[in-house]
Structure 1
């Protein structure tokens, strides 16, 4: 199957070659520090015996799986620790498409581009359902396009790129659609710690054998390079997912898993609260500057992305390159996320220079 390389890499490479200073607002790489307990755990692990440097159990360290299971109120046997949330989504989508229940994958528009990429790679067929102006998904629109060919419904809440948070009613209705058509609902909740609305509720609150929840620690602990994620599968699907995981990756990194476990057990809630407060301030300052630039924009209810539309400046790759060269700000083209936001640009507010970038945009426009 043919599939396109995500545009993230092209934008980052172009920005790196620029002849001027550029504020990078392309990828969701957190700029705040990881939990102290995680660093302490790594230091301690360095002195571990040789056996601790060997393969861990393929499905993940038992202690980490049990910690996740307790926090998510599930059976530890349902948890597979993966190489980031990206692999968790891959395993869930693969499981959906290999069940002989159809080849259609329903996605939102706009959409995180790795989902349609995985769909193509796995031999699926993508169908896109537009969201409303605030990024909210109407489950009735999903039901309208669903059919016996639907194998999978993929949603991301809190959402990248719109910042929308899907409430519990929406998740219940989406699970109902999945059950009706013998599909799997895959709920990517990697931004679950970044809910500013108070409306987020995990899809695990929905009692269904037709939903898989994926998440990870890349964003919440500011450790995108550690590549530790997980998926929570229904009992009857977990063994096949574990086999695919073993054949593709054998396991996730043992030291990284142990460090995450140490951080989960040793990090107070204040760590996450302070991060949310900091991001709220960034979002407010950034959107204030967008007001000054006369832009239309989204105010995220979750995650840390802002989409903006500037009059007469559509979100093409060419215009992203112009912004890099002429304003010194690197964002993502809206066309990377689907047709419905092709006039928009997406900015990741995970840089201490977000205020500076906002001023540059306001001056430029």
Structure 2
């Protein structure tokens, strides 16, 4: 579906904030299931790192290297098996994706970004901001992306193929074969595969495969510690670039941000070095349990729903209740549950609602929905 917009998109005032503000003004108690803000504790080592930083010498409160603290970049590079010179620490995955998309469009090898439908709304917004055009590839009923469909739509106008795995909003996880096919399609069209992997610690299927597993100069991988460490407010992300694009990306990053937050980066470095893998495993198991709890209650409500293979979200469809903003507001007012309208994510799931499971009140929210629709 070539188009400048998808219905329901509002880039000037994203629907996430509109819905959260509406819920905050409600005259009743509301279970918030709008945004992907983790509700659990960050790693203890991260708090320790912040406390230690407070006592650092004055020079530690000045500008860090623009591309990120050297030790943090080295730690990321070692963990991801890449050259440290290709790593840029960014202001969250949001900036990492911005830099990746700008790099793709600046190559002069096309002005089109291939996106999935449904789509995370900020991707088309960034495409428009950067002067690119959007073309959409529908995902299947389970949210999976068929490489053959991508290959059919890719052309000499394609600057980038942008994917998110585990996916927001569908919960789909792309396996190794899919990622290899997507990189090959990018190579065949002189495009870049941009792989946003911010939910990589929340794979319930065991099939997740990073695009970094494919050796190619035609792929950029973005990620952040926002979800894995429950620190969305710290804004510490990163991108791994091909050698020929990294210098230009560093320049753009410097001109836009100068540099990122030095204390946040130092705390993340401490947490990376000192946090046991059991921390991540426990949070992954918590989210998997919430998926089971929420979908079981949706059965009682007579809903159709997706069972995610990864990420934080469940899509649900209720009979004669399309996923519009008006219906989301009605659920807030009458059921006390705030979700996101499906039409905010494109046309493919406009009859659905998206619920973020990052709340300890998942079961309560599901019971409210069951009562409302029962």
What is the TM-score normalised by the length of structure 1?
0.99
Counterpart residue number, 1:235: 243
Residue 351 (structure 2) pairs with residue 343 (structure 1): yes
Structure 1 stretches of 4+ with a deviation exceeding 2 A read 1-5
Question: In the alignment, which residue of structure 2 is the partner of 1:24?
Answer: 32
SS in 2 for 1:48: coil
The alignment partner of 1:105 has SS state of strand
2:146 corresponds, among 138, 143, 147, to: 138
Q: Is the counterpart of residue 287 in structure 1 residue 317 in structure 2?
A: no
Residue among 167, 187, 195 paired with 1:187? 195
Partner of 1:226: 234
1:33 corresponds in structure 2 to 41
Give the deviation of 1:3 after TM superposition: 4.3
> Per-residue CA shift, 1:218-272, capped at 9, x if unaligned?
0000000000000000111100000000000011100000000000000001001
Counterpart in the other structure of 1:110: 118
Q: Any idea what the Cα deviations from partners look like across 1:33-82, whole Å, max 9, x if unmatched?
A: 00000000000000000000000000000000000000000000000000
Is residue 166 from structure 1 mapped to residue 145 from structure 2 by the alignment?
A: no
Is 1:317 equivalent to 2:325 in the alignment?
yes
- Name the residue aligned to 1:44: 52
Count the aligned residue pairs: 365
Q: CA deviation at 1:5?
A: 2.7
Task: Indicate yes or no: 2:88 matched with 1:68.
Answer: no
Within-5 A mapping of 1:72-87 = 72-87=80-95
Equivalent runs, 1:250-329 vs 2, <5 Å: 250-329=258-337
- Deviation for aligned residue 1:4: 4.0
Secondary structure of residue in 1 paired with 2:161: strand
Q: Could you say what secondary structure the match of 1:236 adopts?
A: helix
Shift in alpha-carbon separation, 1:288–1:3, aligned structure 2, 3 A = closer
Give me the whole-angstrom Cα distance separating, in 2, the residues matched to 1:355 and 1:75: 45
**Residue pair 1:3, 1:121 contacting (<8 A) in 2 also:** no
Find the counterpart in structure 1 of residue 105 from structure 2. Answer: 97
Secondary structure of the 2:253 match is: helix
Question: Unaligned stretches of 5+ in structure 1?
Answer: none
3-state DSSP class of the match of 1:248?
Answer: helix
CA contact (8 A) 1:3 1:120 kept: no
Aligned match of 2:7: none
